[in-house]
Amino acid sequence: MFRLGWFLGNGFGMQPWYGNWTGRAVTEWTQPSMYVDLTTSLERAGFDLLFIEDTSMVEDTYGSSMETTLKYGLMAPKNDPIPLVPLLAQATEHIGIVATMSTIQYPPYLAARSMVTLDHLTKGRVGINVVTSVSHRVAQNFGLDKHFEHAERYAMADEWMEVVSQLWDSWEPDALVHDTETPRYADHTKVHPIDFEGKYFKCRGPLNTIPGPQRRPVVAQAGNSHPGRDLAARHADTMLALAKTPEQMKALRQDMDRRLIEHGRKPQDLKILFMATPYLGDTDAEAQERFNRFDKAKHDPDNIEKRLWYLSYVSGGVVDYRKYDLDGPVPQEIGNGETTTAKAWLEGSENITLRDLATGPANYGMEFVGSPDTMAAQMGEVMAEAGGDGFLMYPDVTRRSIMEVCDGLAPALRKRGLIRDGFAHKTFRENLMDF
């Protein structure tokens, strides 16, 4: 049996808003209704978590302009996901909700306090995705001239997590007395300043709110570089992972097991969820035809432009792909952004053109094509071979795709005993670690 999560890859932002099956998304994306529908459907389907991405900039690397970003609604405009979390939790009872926080956007004290507050409001169902942000534009929105180099970003993130973790532990488990007669709410001798002073952060503490139901909200990590993997091995409970084959999945799992042991943890302490994109149809032939249409559409000028925009973004604002000849060689500069993603896109691109890269296979993990029953069998076989903990599904967010996955694929998986058929515990952490 494995876990399922849904990756909300454009966060509380622009989901598909033109074309078929988009409804009123062009004007209603700022409202919670789509996300409430998604989250209640995921819980009904047996998903363990909703994973909400976030970014805080209007990207202008491609063409040195915001034109393409705002023409298509690519990662902007976008709302803050934190206020959305309680609305999703209020509509559900069991599913975990992971919100993204960046170490350059949130001081550790603010992050620790916000997450504990959300832990109370969700009755123990919140998680935090710790990211270091990607581009100079984000850094410049938070008082920096440019972003830190990749290695330093992760050194900073490790120290950030140390501060946050100490703040979460600044109240001892038995600090609350709740004596209404004396009166005495808490034992002050069991609430401690942390007096942290490091290279990047300084914090006195203690946290000025009481521990939440989980005491430590679930920590997620999405970086697949070596520093990102080390950060996950030290601090994370779950991890977003990219792999294209069962062999790559197995290799990543083995590497993370080694890192976890090196940091004094057990392999079962980290649940690795591999990104997967489903292409569903009533029959295998219908699903294949749907995939073929999607594959052919990658050659449309709009989709080429969006792909080149994305490649510029993952470079961290370093490489403007609009400057290059589509029929010329692929620039091989990695940049300072999502380095693992950039390397995955550029792998084997030395002898192809930029057009080939822009119209080639996506690099968002694994792709599954078929009817619900066929896809369920495929996913079961892959997970049995790879030994991972589950999949993080990454389809477009429309009400059609929600129904296809939650009312088509999920029942087929459940029929095979591959996903949960209910939740045994009250908190996100307990359910995540249940098996």
Please, which residues have CB within 8 angstroms of residue 41's CB and are 6 or more apart in sequence? 402, 403, 406, 407
| pLDDT for position 346 | 86
Task: Report how far residue 267's alpha carbon sits from residue 27's, in angstroms, rounded to the nearest whole number.
Answer: 45
Give the H or E element holding residue 96.
strand 96-102
| pLDDT for position 317 | 83
| pLDDT for position 189 | 98
| pLDDT for position 223 | 83
Task: Report how far residue 93's alpha carbon sits from residue 427's, in angstroms, rounded to the nearest whole number.
Answer: 9
pLDDT bucket at 397, cuts 50 / 70 / 90: very high
pLDDT bucket at 338, cuts 50 / 70 / 90: confident
Residue of 47, 66, 44 whose CA lies nearest to 8? 47
Residue of 201, 207, 206, 231 whose CA lies nearest to 219? 231
pLDDT per position as a tens digit, 53-95: 999 999 999 999 999 999 999 999 999 999 999 999 999 999 9
Residue with tokens 């001892």: 172
Contact between 234 and 165 (Cβ < 8 Å): no
| pLDDT for position 90 | 98
| pLDDT for position 239 | 97
pLDDT per position as a tens digit, 288-319: 999 999 999 999 999 999 999 999 999 988 89
pLDDT per position as a tens digit, 251-282: 999 999 999 999 999 999 999 999 999 999 99
| pLDDT for position 335 | 81
Token duo for residue 72: 């298509």
Spell out the domains of the chain, with CATH numbers in brackets.
Answer: 3-284+366-432 (3.20.20.30), 299-359 (no CATH)
pLDDT reading at 362 higher than 90: no
Instruction: Read off the pLDDT of each residue in 337-341 and give the average, rounded to a whole number.
Output: 79
| pLDDT for position 337 | 79
pLDDT reading at 217 higher than 90: yes
pLDDT reading at 348 higher than 90: no
pLDDT reading at 52 higher than 90: yes
pLDDT reading at 363 higher than 90: no
Instruction: Read off the pLDDT of each residue in 339-365 and give the average, rounded to a whole number.
Output: 87
Supply the angle between the helices 226-235 and 150-168 in degrees, to the nearest 10.
10
| pLDDT for position 341 | 81
Contact between 413 and 404 (Cβ < 8 Å): no
Instruction: Read off the pLDDT of each residue in 29-48 and give the average, rounded to a whole number.
Output: 98
Q: What percent of the chain has pLDDT over 70?
A: 100
| pLDDT for position 308 | 96
pLDDT bucket at 119, cuts 50 / 70 / 90: very high
